[in-house]
Amino acid sequence: MQPKDILLAPIYLYQGNKIKRSTVRLPEATGERQGQVLLHNDSEINGTSDLSPLTVMVVGDSSAAGVGVETQNDALMGHFLKALPSQAAVQQKFAQIDWQLHATTGHTSFDALRRLYVLPKPAAPVDIIVFIVGVNDTTSNISEQRWQSQLNEIITIAKRKFAAKQIIFSCLPPMSHMPAIPAPLNEFIGAKADKLDKRLQRVCRESDCHYLSVDFKKAGFDADKMFAIDGFHPNAAAYEYWGEQLAKQIGELVA
């Protein structure tokens, strides 16, 4: 913590408590949390009988659960599943997409780790596991060392129990720009998120995992264009861009 943060600590505490009291509590998006997406029509079935399914599992927090929109169709998972079939390598190499979503509001990296332990071991290796965590770790003021340790534990169990062929961690969002977080708390939270994100990138490099960078600013998203009415979660347009970026990365990984 910087000297100025020590001086501003009472303000941070006051603003943090005020956010907890006044922020709009939005529900998770409704809709299916698992399913299949066929990649070929009836006329193509005969020529794809030797193709296997692409298995994808997404594990994470409220943004993975689609908080900020009403249905999974408009959430990250919905947009991701719309964009993934358009990836050439996915069409060519797989017969269908078998997907699962395991996400809960408020979940931290520790909660994601605990969920991996609770989930049943799959009958076959999972092709791709995507993790979306970090926001709640940031607001709980986790240490960088603890964050790194839990990320490494997540990677270990994903490889050992789920035999994950590819592991992707999505970047932390631009928390300093969240309308729900006032100044000067937003700068403090944003700096913390940036530190955790840099540590996440390092863990990915050292563990042969993949880091998904989603630059909303580069895509033209201002704060008033990417957040839901709670000023904290993505809106449908932001989820769409995020889902497209995730689908693009997976398309490149399986090529």
**% of the chain at pLDDT higher than 90:** 82
Whether 238 has a pLDDT exceeding 80, the answer reads: yes
Give me the pLDDT at residue 226, please. 94
189 φ, ψ (degrees, to nearest 5): -65, -40
Give me the pLDDT at residue 44, please. 59
Give me the pLDDT at residue 241, please. 97
Mean pLDDT of 14-25: 86
Whether 19 has a pLDDT exceeding 90, the answer reads: no
Whether 48 has a pLDDT exceeding 80, the answer reads: no
Cβ–Cβ under 8 Å, residues 12 and 5: yes
Q: What's the distance, CA 195 to chain centroid?
A: 17
Give me the pLDDT at residue 45, please. 55
Give me the pLDDT at residue 251, please. 98
Q: Tell me the two tokens of residue 77.
A: 């998972």
Going by C-beta distance under 8 Å and a sequence separation of 6 or more, which residues neighbour residue 143?
none
Give me the pLDDT at residue 49, please. 64
Residue-wise pLDDT tens digits, 212-231: 999 998 888 887 789 999 99
Ordered alpha helix ranges (H), the chain: 3-22, 76-83, 88-93, 109-118, 135-139, 144-160, 185-206, 223-226, 236-253
Give me the pLDDT at residue 219, please. 85
What separation, in Å, do the N-terminal and C-terminal C-alpha atoms of the chain show? 44
Cα 148 to Cα 144: distance, rounded to the nearest angstrom: 6
Which of 34, 163, 40 has the alpha carbon at shortest distance from 94?
A: 40
**% of the chain at pLDDT higher than 70:** 96
**In this predicted model, which residue has the larger pLDDT, 48 or 146?**
146
Give me the pLDDT at residue 221, please. 87
Q: Is 78 exposed, middle or buried (0-12, 13-18, 19+ CB in 10 A)?
A: buried
Going by C-beta distance under 8 Å and a sequence separation of 6 or more, which residues neighbour residue 8?
184, 188
Mean pLDDT of 74-90: 98
For β-strands 34-38 and 52-60, DSSP reports them as unpaired
Instruction: Give the single-character DSSP code of 71.
Output: B
Helix (H) or strand (E) holding 131: strand 128-132
